[in-house]
Amino acid sequence: MTVAKRTFDAVIVGAGGAGLRAALQLSEAGLKTAVLTKVFPTRSHTVAAQGGVAASLGNSTEDNWHWHMYDTVKGSDWLGDQDAIEFMCRKANEVVVELEHYGMPFDRTDNGKIYQRPFGGHSQNYGQTPVSRSCAAADRTGHAMLHALYQRNVRANTQFFVEWMALDLVRDSEGNVVGVTALEMETGEVTIFHCRATIFATGGAGRIYHSSTNAFINTGDGAGMAARAGIPLEDMEFWQFHPTGVAGAGVLITEGVRGEGGILRNASGERFMERYAPNLKDLASRDVVSRAMTTEINEGRGCGPDKDYVLLDITHLAPETIMKRLPGIREIAIQFAGVDPIKEPIPVVPTCHYQMGGIPTNYKGQVVVPKNGDPNSAVSGFYAAGECACASVHGANRLGTNSLLDLLVFGKSAGETVVEDFNSGALPLRELPADAADYSLSRMSRLESQTNGESVFDVGLEMRRTMQKHAGVFRFDDLLKEGVAKINEVAERAKRTEIKDKSKVWNTARMEALELDNLIEVAKATMVSAEARKESRGAHVRDDAPDTPETPNGRNDKEWLKHTLWYSEGNRLDYKPVNLNPLNADTKPIALAKRTY
């Protein structure tokens, strides 16, 4: 197979919110930038974001970044790095207003300011009362945001490679990143993209689970490519289950529904969140609400013939409010649940939604790995932002609307760092190794020649079922141990996948087989990291971690206040410290405390 080569200053893999925000920074600074994407940019999963983007603008209720920082650290169950969290919360107003100036059509308050609604875990005065912090464009915030960013990139002459799938990271003998290999879907040909800076913005991997709110393209390609190239994945045991996926379908019903006044009810009509979170009730943090719902269902108070879901009730809201603020949700409820939420409550269950972990980065967007005694040594030429990255601002549990904010802040920050490094001469165009494409070509040729192999669909299904059963909302020691053995078995099978269709042009079977390789890395990282963490923290809750004064909610800070690092080679784990110090000396650290809402 011939391999073409193209050279750029920077290559960004991914055209969701994070990739587009980073691209804008580079193109406007005059760098020759290529953006590779599996789908047309505005079809990236960011387009599905409904509820909003967090910023303490204080347009509807009093607010400030200190409160936002406190909520985010507490939401992360203290696993988030406080320097990155401070950076994000302080930057929020700037990046949201900037987005507005790019043309983002936010909803408005009566006096013309950006409309803001309450969201889970966001509060005033350090956890006292809910605050309106989520800036929203009806229930289509991601859609509006992605289009505004795309149009701005067209204006800045960013060069897009649409329907190109990056395959592998290329590193030189010293470990510097010098580019990626990619498959042009239309032709089936492989090209090497040689560049000074590579930014991964490939989004999440929610498709490792059976029931997921994620798009089918969310296959963790960035994480898989990084892991295969020797970069560890951070905190992969932490997955967010969104409380309100449509029962049976998984499609998301935004938390904005509860922000607008929606209430969760069990079979007897009880507003059960009053028992679990007396202060914030239905607007407690997502992990807390998901566990409460699962407990109601497990204890027989679920609804329906199989008692396997609860109800999200907005029938008490004015129909005009629903039509104005939640039009997309009404459509989803009618199509996927068969109920009109103006008249009837929506059946919902917790559904896999978001990966808190990912490729380790610092707040500047540089990818960092342990090296020579430094746990956070930057890998030259490699950057990451968005859901595929772990900055780490979400720690063990992300607050709703903090992800769209993460895309804007760290997409911009990664772009700024690349421009700085470029201008200071710290980003030479390093030589490409002679064997740069060999690894990708060997993966492709194995698929060409494999006979009597495994079906990609069967292996994928086994992976999704294993993850759902063994690493779900609640976690049990024996199930996790079995899960590790099972997922290792599935991973062995994935090495022998076979595709029947060997054609070159737009061969979706080949793409799915290559995506499965990435999903498997993420699934292994998740299971192995989860089995090892013998405590409950944020979204990772084990039944055998007792709630005592020394271990609040089962969280064991003495032994487990540390980030997990999983290495693909050897399927092994390492750990690194959490940064409990804010970025600026005059910002007070948020002290460890029990997490209650």
Nearer Cβ to ligand FAD (221/234): 221
Q: Cis omega (within 30 of 0) on the bond before 503?
A: no
Q: What angle (nearest 5°) sits at the alpha carbon of residue 473, between those of residues 467 and 256? A: 115
Provide, rounded to whole angstroms, the least separation between the CB of residue 383 and ligand FAD. 13
Residue number, 40 or 457, with CB nearest to ligand FAD: 40
Stretch that binds ligand FAD, among 32-40, 106-114, 189-197, 332-340 (CB under 6 A): 32-40
For residues 595 and 557, the answer to whether their CB atoms sit within 8 Å is no
Q: Is residue 36 a contact residue for ligand FAD (CB under 6 A)? A: yes
Contact between 357 and ligand FAD per CB under 6 A: no
386 among annotated binding-site residues: no
Token representation of residue 107: 């909803």
Show contacts with ligand FAD in window 254-273 (CB under 6 A).
Answer: 254
Q: Is there a contact between 510 and 521 (Cβ–Cβ < 8 Å)?
A: no
Locus of tokens 């970069």 = 231
Among 25, 27, 33, 46, binds ligand FAD (CB under 6 A): 46
Instruction: State the minimum distance, in angstroms, from the CB of residue 415 to ligand FAD.
Output: 13
Six token digits for residue 455: 């079906």
Q: Does 404 bind ligand FAD (CB under 6 A)?
A: yes
Sheet holding 263-265, edge to edge: 239-246, 346-355, 310-313, 263-265
* Residue 397, φ and ψ in degrees, nearest 5: -165, 130
Q: Least distance in Å: CB of 134 to ligand FAD?
A: 8
Stretch that binds ligand FAD, among 196-204, 262-270, 366-374, 586-594 (CB under 6 A): 196-204
Task: Look at residue 194 and give its three-state secondary structure.
Answer: strand
Instruction: Check 286, 291, 542, 595 and give the catalytic one.
Output: 286
Which residue is nearest to ligand FAD, using beta carbons? 16
Which of 76, 181, 213, 244 binds ligand FAD (CB under 6 A)? It is: 213
Q: Say how far apart CA 230 and CA 117 lie, in whole Å.
A: 42
Q: Phi-psi category of 484—alpha, beta or left, where left has phi over 0 and alpha has psi -120 to 50? A: alpha
The answer to whether 336 is a known ligand-binding residue is no
Q: Does 201 bind ligand FAD (CB under 6 A)?
A: yes
DSSP 544-578: TS---SSSGGG--HHHH-EEEEEETGGGEEEEEE-
Please state, in angstroms and rounded to a whole number, the distance separating the CA atoms of residues 269 and 260: 19
Binds ligand FAD (CB under 6 A): choice among 45, 91, 265, 510: 45
Least Å from the CB of residue 198 to ligand FAD: 12
Q: Is 50 known to sit in a ligand binding site?
A: yes
Start-end of H helices in 319-429: 319-325, 327-332, 402-423
387 binds ligand FAD (CB under 6 A): yes
51 is an annotated ligand-binding site residue: yes
Contact status: 56 vs ligand FAD (CB under 6 A): no
Q: Say whether residue 221 binds ligand FAD (CB under 6 A).
A: yes
Per DSSP, the residues of 198-239 read EEE-----GGGSSSBSS-TT---HHHHHHHHTT--EESTT-E
Asked if 41 and 35 touch (Cβ cutoff 8 Å), the reply is yes
Is 122 within any annotated ligand binding site? no
91 binding ligand FAD? (CB under 6 A): no
Q: Which residues pair with 311 in a beta bridge?
A: 265, 347
Sign of CA dihedral 481, 541, 205, 79: negative
Flag whether 220 is marked binding: no
Instruction: Identify which of residues 50 and 366 has a Cβ nearer to ligand FAD in the complex.
Output: 50
Question: Among 97-105, 164-172, 283-291, 312-320, which window interacts with ligand FAD (CB under 6 A)?
Answer: 164-172
Q: Catalytic annotation on 286?
A: yes
Contact between 526 and ligand FAD by CB under 6 A: the answer reads no
Rounded alpha-carbon distances, angstroms, from residue 12 to 156, 158, 418, 443: 15, 11, 11, 22
Q: Applying CB under 6 A, does 237 fall inside the site for ligand FAD? A: no
Neighbour-count burial of 574, counting CB atoms closer than 10 A to its CB (0-12 exposed, 13-18 middle, 19+ buried)? middle
Q: How far is the CB of 459 from ligand FAD (least distance, A)?
A: 19
Q: Does residue 245 touch ligand FAD according to CB under 6 A?
A: no
Our CA angle for 563, 386, 186, nearest 5°, is 125
Q: Residue 38 or 524: which CB sits closer to ligand FAD?
A: 38
Q: What is the DSSP code (8-state) at residue 334?
A: I
Three-state SS at 456:
helix
Would you say 15 or 226 has its CB closer to ligand FAD?
A: 15
Q: Is 440 in the site for ligand FAD (CB under 6 A)?
A: no
**Binding to ligand FAD by residue 456, rule CB under 6 A?**
no
Residue with smaller CB distance to ligand FAD, 459 or 514: 514
Distance CA 293, CA 275 (A): 12
Amino acid in position 450:
Q
Binding residue for ligand FAD, selected from 407, 408, 419, 539, defined by CB under 6 A: 407
Q: Does 521 bind ligand FAD (CB under 6 A)?
A: no
Does 202 interact with ligand FAD (rule: CB under 6 A)? yes
Confirm or deny that 14 is annotated as ligand binding.
yes
472 known ligand binder: no
- Based on the shown chain and the rule CB under 6 A, indicate whether residue 376 belongs to the binding site for ligand FAD: no
Q: Which of residues 295-334 bind ligand FAD (CB under 6 A)?
A: none
The footprint of ligand FAD on this chain (CB under 6 A) covers a number of residues equal to 46
> What is the distance between the alpha carbons of residues 444 and 438, in angstroms, rounded to a whole number?
10
Least distance (Å) between residue 315 CB and ligand FAD: 23
Interface with ligand FAD by CB under 6 A: which residues? 13-19, 36-39, 44-46, 48-53, 141-142, 164-166, 201-204, 213-214, 217-218, 221, 252, 254, 354, 386-388, 400-404, 407
Active site members: 286
Annotated binding site for FAD: 14-19, 37-52, 221, 387, 403-404
